[in-house]
C-alpha cells in the first residue's frame, strides 16, 4: 500500500513539470515574436557602378558613355555574368532587414508595408493571434504557480487545474493558427511583394523553429495538466469506493 503522502508528492511533481513547460513556452514565444529571424535568405542585387578610381568586388567597372543608363543594367542581368552580389536578409512579423555589403550594416523595413494589400489583414490576424497566445500562456503559467501553492486544498487545486488546462489548450491552438497564418503571408509576399525585396533563396530561421518549440512545450504542459487532473479525479473515486466498501462491511458486521 502506498503511503498517504505519495499521491500529494506526485501531484506536486506534475504541477512543477507543467509549470516549467508552460514557462519555457512563454519565454520561447516572446523571444520569437520580438525577433526578425522567422525567415532568412539571400537577394540577388545588381552591383553599383564604381565611382572614380575606387573599386573592388562589390561594384562594376563599366567604361562607357551610357554607363549609368538602365539598359546597361538590364544587359548585365541578361548576360548572366558575375555582375551581381547576393545580400543576406532576415524577416519577422515586424521587420525585414537586409545587409549593406559596403559597411556591414543592415537596412530594415516594416514587413507589414512589404506585404501585399490583399494579405495584410491576414498578417494582422496572425499578430493578434500571437499576442493572445502569449497572454494565454502567461495566464496559464500564473494559474499553475497559484495551484502549486494551494496543493494542501485538493478541491481548490482541482478547480484551478481544470481552468489552467483549458487556458493552455486554447493558447496552443491560437499559437498553431498564428504560425501557419504567418507562413502563408510570407510565401505570398515572396511571390507578390515588391520587386526590390523578393528573395532569390530563402528558408525558415531560428525564430520560426523557436515558435514551434514554444507550441510543443505548450501542448506538453496542457497534456501534463490534464493528466494530473484526471489522475486526481480517479484517486478520489478510488478513495470513495474504498470508503463505501468499508462502511458496508461495518454495517453487515457491526462491532458488538
Cα distance between residue 60 and residue 49, in whole Å: 5
CA distances from 122 to 94, 98, 116, 172, 175 (A): 14, 24, 10, 19, 14
For residue 84, being part of any structural domain is answered with no
- At 50 the pLDDT is 66
67 lies in some domain: no
Counts of helices then strands in the chain (DSSP H, E): 6, 5
Pull the grid cell for residue 215: 507550441
CATH for 180: 1.20.140.150
Write phi, then psi, for 86 (nearest 5 degrees): -95, 125
Is residue 256 included in any domain, yes or no? no
3-class SS shares of the chain: helix, strand, coil, % to 5? 65, 10, 25
Task: Give me the domain span that covers residue 138.
Answer: 10-35+116-194+201-237
Residues with Cβ within 8 Å of 214's Cβ and at least 6 positions away in sequence, in order, are: 24, 25, 26, 28, 29, 32, 137, 175
Q: What is the pLDDT of residue 45?
A: 74
Output phi, psi for 203, to 5 deg.
-155, 170
Q: Note the pTM of the prediction, 2 decimals.
A: 0.77
Each residue's pLDDT tens digit in the chain (256 positions)? Answer: 445 456 666 667 877 888 999 999 999 999 999 999 999 998 877 776 666 555 555 666 655 555 455 555 544 444 454 667 778 889 999 999 988 766 667 888 999 999 999 989 999 999 999 999 999 999 999 988 888 776 556 676 778 888 888 999 999 999 999 999 999 999 999 998 888 888 888 999 999 999 999 999 999 999 988 888 787 776 666 666 666 666 666 666 665 4
Question: How many structural domains does the chain have?
Answer: 1
- Residues in CB range of 239: below 8 A, 6 or more apart: none
The pLDDT, as a whole number, for residue 77 is: 47
Which of these, 217, 253, 32, lies nearest to 130 by C-alpha position? 32
Question: How far, in Å, CA of 46 to CA of 150, rounded?
Answer: 65
Q: Would residue 53 count as lying in a domain?
A: no
CA distance 207 to 205: 6
Separation between Cα atoms, residue 8 and residue 148, nearest integer Å: 11
Task: Tell me the three cell numbers of residue 35.
Answer: 525577433
Asked if residue 22 is part of any domain, the answer here is yes
**What pLDDT is recorded for position 99?**
84
Strands (E), the chain: 39-46, 84-91, 95-99, 106-110, 201-204
Amino acid at each position: 500500500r502506498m503511503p498517504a503522502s505519495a499521491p500529494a508528492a506526485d501531484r506536486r511533481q506534475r504541477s512543477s513539470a507543467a509549470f516549467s513547460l508552460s514557462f519555457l513556452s512563454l519565454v520561447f514565444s516572446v523571444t520569437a515574436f520580438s525577433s526578425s529571424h522567422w525567415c532568412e535568405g539571400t537577394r540577388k542585387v545588381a552591383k553599383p557602378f564604381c565611382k572614380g578610381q575606387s573599386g573592388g568586388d562589390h561594384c562594376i567597372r563599366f567604361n562607357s558613355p551610357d554607363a549609368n543608363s538602365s539598359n546597361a543594367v538590364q544587359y548585365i542581368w541578361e548576360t548572366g555574368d558575375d555582375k551581381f552580389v547576393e545580400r543576406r536578409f532576415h524577416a519577422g512579423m515586424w521587420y525585414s532587414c537586409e545587409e549593406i555589403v559596403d559597411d556591414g550594416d543592415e537596412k530594415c523595413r516594416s514587413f507589414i508595408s512589404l506585404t501585399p494589400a490583399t494579405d495584410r489583414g491576414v498578417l494582422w490576424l496572425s499578430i493578434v493571434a500571437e499576442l493572445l497566445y502569449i497572454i494565454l500562456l502567461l495566464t496559464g503559467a500564473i494559474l499553475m504557480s497559484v495551484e502549486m501553492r494551494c496543493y494542501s486544498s485538493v478541491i481548490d487545486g482541482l478547480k484551478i487545474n481544470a481552468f489552467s488546462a483549458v487556458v493552455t489548450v486554447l493558447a496552443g491552438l491560437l499559437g498553431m493558427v498564428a504560425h501557419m497564418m504567418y507562413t502563408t503571408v510570407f510565401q505570398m509576399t515572396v511571390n507578390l511583394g515588391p520587386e526590390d525585396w523578393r528573395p532569390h533563396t530563402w528558408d525558415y530561421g531560428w525564430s520560426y523553429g523557436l515558435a514551434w518549440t514554444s507550441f510543443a512545450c505548450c501542448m506538453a504542459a496542457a497534456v501534463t495538466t490534464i493528466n494530473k487532473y484526471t489522475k486526481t479525479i480517479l484517486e478520489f473515486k478510488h478513495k470513495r469506493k474504498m470508503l463505501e466498501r468499508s462502511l458496508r462491511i461495518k454495517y453487515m458486521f457491526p462491532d458488538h
